Amino acid sequence: MRYAILLLGAPYSRQASHSALRFARALVARGHGLEGVFFYHDGVHNAARLAAPPQDEPHLVDGWKALNREQGVPLQVCIAAALRRGLLDEREAARHGKQGHSVEPPFELTGLGQLVDLGLRCDRLVTFGP
């Protein structure tokens, strides 16, 4: 089946990110296709390039990156939710006159239309709330 995940919870504040990543891994292991993970509301903090959790804790950002690297899962971040929380890729940083950037590939800043598209295209859309 084709699955998509909507993640609304901030990493390390709520369990949502851990739950979503664990579910994503289980989906793929069962042979399903994960067509995308959409990060929205405080979930956009999962895309923070500079996240540096203690080494003995799960690294959620790296976990999502690994999922992309190994399975090609698109990591889509709501651009409106991201910008107002200081999460900008290189292009948006330049556009807003900011030094440095806080989001990098494989995370991509995108619009809500992508979430609608995932919802229409996939057999299941599973939400992990805060």
The alpha helices in the chain, defined as continuous H runs, are 16-29, 60-71, 79-83, 90-95, 112-121
**Residue 122: active-site member:** no
Q: How far apart are CA 27 and CA 36, in angstroms?
A: 12
Least separation in angstroms between residue 16's CB and other proteins is 8
Burial degree of 64 (CB within 10 A; 0-12, 13-18, 19+): buried
Our CB check for other proteins shows the closer of 9 and 88 to be 9
Which spans of this chain sit near other proteins (rule: CB under 8 A)? 1, 3, 8, 15-16, 19, 22-23, 25-27, 29-30, 32, 124-130
Report the DSSP pairing between strands 124-128 and 75-78: unpaired
Our CB check for other proteins shows the closer of 36 and 102 to be 36
Our CB check for other proteins shows the closer of 13 and 94 to be 13
Least separation in angstroms between residue 18's CB and other proteins is 9
Q: How far apart are CA 89 and CA 107, in angstroms?
A: 9
Active-site residue (options: 78, 81, 88, 118): 78
Which residues are part of the catalytic machinery? 78
